Structure 1
Amino acid sequence: MRSASIVKKLTVLFTLWFALATTVYASNSIENVRIWPAPENTRIVFDLIEKPDFKYFSLKSPERLVIDFKNSRNNAVLMSAIKADRRVQKIRTSRAKEKGTTRLVLELAEDYKISIFPLAPAGQYSDRLVIDLYDKNSQPIATHDNSQGKRDIVIAIVAGHGGEDPGSIGAAGTYEKRITLKIAQKLANLINQKQGLKAVMIRSGDYYVDHNRKTELARKSKADLLISIHADAFTSSQPNGASVLVQATRRADSEFTRWIQNREKNSELLGGAGETIRSTKDNNLAIALGDMKKEYTMASSYDFAEHVVKQLKKVTRLHKHKPERLSLAVLKSSDIPSVLIETGFISNPDEERRLNNSHHQQKLAKAIYIAVDDYFSRNPPDGTLIAATRTREHKVSRGESLSVVAQRYKVSIRQLKSANNLKSNVVRIGQTLKIPQAD
């Protein structure tokens, strides 16, 4: 009996010692896991109570990613996060070599390019460990020519934030990432209804796209314009109204300097003269050509931004009545005209309600679409359907007759009269004539 009592006491003491040892070793804990699937990658986020101390390695046959969290215990329900993700098949624990270390194993569908990094607390989130799995053989975004052999004008639309990055959060709990996606989807639908225009959604669901990746995807789609949709916020609830932002001159110049120094690698970022810029041994020529492209892109961005301001003021308040220049990562491209549109202040309760309203979202999208349509009707890129079919105009000068104008544009007098609803061949000085397409 005495022996049994001693054994029982030792067992209790061992249990207490083990619990104490575990507590000492496990100063951190994994509280939750979230998975954000995207077309080209999957992001896995582990939420912890402290900054993670971790190591990782990969195993083959089958493909696995093994992560050791030092001085940590796991409180997360690991498999609850996996839904329809095609890349992560299973998350499980395994025995680690070091005491107090939690080993997690991600069983993967195939071999991926892996990026792992910690994130400091921000907003509603505590410390995190982020794992990005990128497809090694990602497919380029498809573009197409229309039935007339002329290409569409491509507009890349970026819905701001996404995934574990909610953006700003309104007083009523509205997430910026959800508002931006809804407006972006409505804008894409309007653009795709117009013959000769094509929208490409850089983010089509609730996932995060890195800023550099946004411009890469826009470039893959051969975008003629990039529009980034956001909702503004401030520490006070008073500010309101929409704004349109373009890249600051200093940021554009610094990006251009970096690219031109490595022009053999980055020639595709510098437009049609890229091959000349890449291969020329004349550094001054390379800089001159690249600078011309950069200046054209910045001027085009500002021109389009003015079109957006003009249309937005018809449907909502404006915070800034002219385009504003700021240093923004998403607008850094030297080859794609780019704007960022702040659709309103989500931190303002009245605007938060409007931004949540589907009708208001549609009005904002319609205003941006009209700006796109108007801008490209006036400035269609060569080789596009809109450039081939747009209505040209001619102002009649002294000494010109209807037959002279018809001969100049290689159209018939009958076509000119029909396009302009003319009942006779008489035209007046200063009269603007629409020039139809030649037969």
Structure 2
Amino acid sequence: MPRLSLLLCLSALSGTLAAASPEVGGVRLWNADDHTRVVLDLNQSASYKLFTLANPDRIVLDIQGAEIKPGAAALVPLGPVKGLRSGRQGRDLRLVLDLNETQRVKSFLLPPAAGIGHRLVVDLFDPENAKSTIKTVPLVVAQAAESDGQRKVVVAIDAGHGGEDPGALGGNGSREKNITLAVAKELAALVDQEPGMKSFLIRDSDFFVPLNKRYELAREAKADVFISIHADAALAKSAKGSSVFVLSNRGASSEFARMIANQENQSDLVGGVSIGDKDTTLAKVLLDLSQGATMEASEIVATNVLTGLKNIGNVHKHEVQRANFVVLRAPDVPSILVETAFISNPTEEKRLNDPEHRSNLATAIVAGIRDYFSTSPPIGTWYAANPQKARQHIVSPGESLSLIAERHRVSIARLRTENSLTTDTLHVGRVLKIPTSS
């Protein structure tokens, strides 16, 4: 073989061998309510060993045959992690996490998902909370009785994605996890202003919560309704409008619903859930749901919320959509998922970053929730004890008398009579009395 050809072959072989070595391309930290997550981005799957050392406290990771990208070990201290050092242990890459205090450690590898590559995840837990997986808000707070002896209904609000899972990305860099948290906080603030409601945020900052934990937290808080907030992306940038979904265990109502459910159900793979965390109660949950009461209530909530969203802009689907969303599987809590808009649409991405538009979205959702509890008040709640006060409607931007009448299932004539209206012109903020029958 000519010398030049031999050199070329050796060069190609060298490049192949180099590419076969695992490489740590970056290291990231996330804080959750009950743990700190360390994420190592890898170019491929890798074998590793992990052990802890004391005095001082540290975690040692030996990644077989791996290299580390220059600068990848630089990180800002967070939580119990003081810093990261790298070195060699024979042919292996050794990474040392220096800690402020002893931690209970859990680690696992994640395969590529939704555009994110291989990852090695190390979760650090406070040993005093060793049995905890997600910290919850005390139930006494969520279900506190009011001064008149009637409790407020609890609205569980789930900001989709979070932490390691950014959700969909907008063309101008917006992340779905940030948009959903902003809308969720706005919604919670409006819910807490209602005389008969109290909010419960599934997450109130940028951390990841597994899908099954989201509805479990809602159940633990004894929520009366569960609202999951999202802002998805589509291949076509022209796709626009809001949509509302409920759970279906009999297949999706449309190809669009199936697509959205598949995307949202990928959250655990992206956010980082180990095999040991998989939900093993799915069959029982779906069996419970087959009884129908919760699903019927979810349908009513969804219809009311969709009506509210129609008042503030375009909707992508004019009917409630159905698909098998993991996050909606609570067997005894009416649950809906709201796709507020398409973050992939440049115009809608801009609106989602506008506080005024997010406030309008939250107002529309609250209106739908209020209408649901006004017509279906749980026993022992403020809504059950105050039917006349509950059957009121605060006029929102874009609402007309005909739309309000349709939403509350009363005639326009009865609505005019009940409120002594001489014109159909309505001013934003006006409180209308809703008649008890048409």
Same fold (TM over 0.5): yes
Which runs of structure 2 are paired with 1:126-137 in the superposition (5 Å)? 126-134=117-125, 135-136=129-130
Structure 1 partner of 2:22: 28
The CA deviation at 1:372 is 1.1
For 1:188 and 1:70, how far apart are their aligned partners in 2?
Answer: 47
For 1:49 and 1:259, how far apart are their aligned partners in 2?
Answer: 34
For 2:164 and 2:83, how far apart are their aligned partners in 1?
Answer: 20
Structure 1 partner of 2:225: 225
Which runs of structure 2 are paired with 1:188-203 in the superposition (5 Å)? 188-203=188-203
User: CA 1:332/1:60 → structure 2, altered by over 3 Å: closer, same or farther?
Assistant: farther
Which runs of structure 2 are paired with 1:256-271 in the superposition (5 Å)? 259=281
User: CA 1:172/1:332 → structure 2, altered by over 3 Å: closer, same or farther?
Assistant: same
Amino acid at match of 2:77: I
CA deviations 1:193-226 (Å, max 9, x no partner) are 1123111111211221110111121122111111
Q: Does 1:88 align with 2:84?
A: no
For 2:146 and 2:209, how far apart are their aligned partners in 1?
Answer: 30
Structure 2 partner of 1:48: 42
Which runs of structure 2 are paired with 1:299-378 in the superposition (5 Å)? 299-378=296-375
Structure 2 partner of 1:103: 95
The CA deviation at 1:103 is 3.5
- Which of the pair is proportionally richer in helix? 1
For 1:111 and 1:185, how far apart are their aligned partners in 2?
Answer: 31
For 1:117 and 1:371, how far apart are their aligned partners in 2?
Answer: 42
Structure 2 partner of 1:234: 234
Amino acid at match of 2:161: H
| Structure 1 range deviating more: 30-39 or 52-61 | 52-61
State TM-score, norm by structure 2.
Answer: 0.70
CA deviations 1:217-241 (Å, max 9, x no partner) are 1122111111111112211112111
For 2:435 and 2:113, how far apart are their aligned partners in 1?
Answer: 63
Amino acid at match of 1:385: W
CA deviations 1:325-377 (Å, max 9, x no partner) are 01111111112111110111111122122112111111001000111111112
Structure 2 partner of 1:296: 293
The CA deviation at 1:46 is 1.1
Cα RMSD of the aligned pairs, angstroms, is 3.3
CA deviations 1:163-222 (Å, max 9, x no partner) are 222111122222111111111110010001112311111121122111011112112211
Structure 1 residue runs without a partner (length 5+): 1-19, 253-257, 263-268, 271-286, 394-419, 422-431, 435-439
User: CA 1:216/1:41 → structure 2, altered by over 3 Å: closer, same or farther?
Assistant: farther
Amino acid at match of 2:75: S
The CA deviation at 1:433 is 8.2
Q: Tell me the SS of whatever aligns to 1:178.
A: helix
Equivalent pair of 1:41/1:132 in contact (CA under 8 Å): yes
For 1:163 and 1:389, how far apart are their aligned partners in 2?
Answer: 41
CA deviations 1:77-134 (Å, max 9, x no partner) are 5462323x2x4344334663x42332333536344362422231643x4332122334
Structure 2 residue runs without a partner (length 5+): 1-13, 253-279, 391-417, 420-433
State TM-score, norm by structure 1.
Answer: 0.70
The CA deviation at 1:317 is 0.3
User: CA 1:76/1:297 → structure 2, altered by over 3 Å: closer, same or farther?
Assistant: farther
Equivalent pair of 2:229/2:340 in contact (CA under 8 Å): yes
Aligned length: 346
Q: Which has the larger radius of gyration?
A: 1
Amino acid at match of 1:72: A
The CA deviation at 1:259 is 4.4
CA deviations 1:272-296 (Å, max 9, x no partner) are xxxxxxxxxxxxxxx7xx467x411
Amino acid at match of 1:219: R
For 2:282 and 2:39, how far apart are their aligned partners in 1?
Answer: 36
For 1:365 and 1:243, how far apart are their aligned partners in 2?
Answer: 14
For 2:215 and 2:66, how far apart are their aligned partners in 1?
Answer: 38
Amino acid at match of 1:43: R
Equivalent pair of 2:309/2:365 in contact (CA under 8 Å): yes
CA deviations 1:252-283 (Å, max 9, x no partner) are 9xxxxx74977xxxxxx79xxxxxxxxxxxxx
Equivalent pair of 2:62/2:93 in contact (CA under 8 Å): yes
For 1:61 and 1:53, how far apart are their aligned partners in 2?
Answer: 27
Fraction of identical pairs, as percent? 38
Structure 2 partner of 1:437: none
Q: Tell me the SS of whatever aligns to 1:300.
A: helix
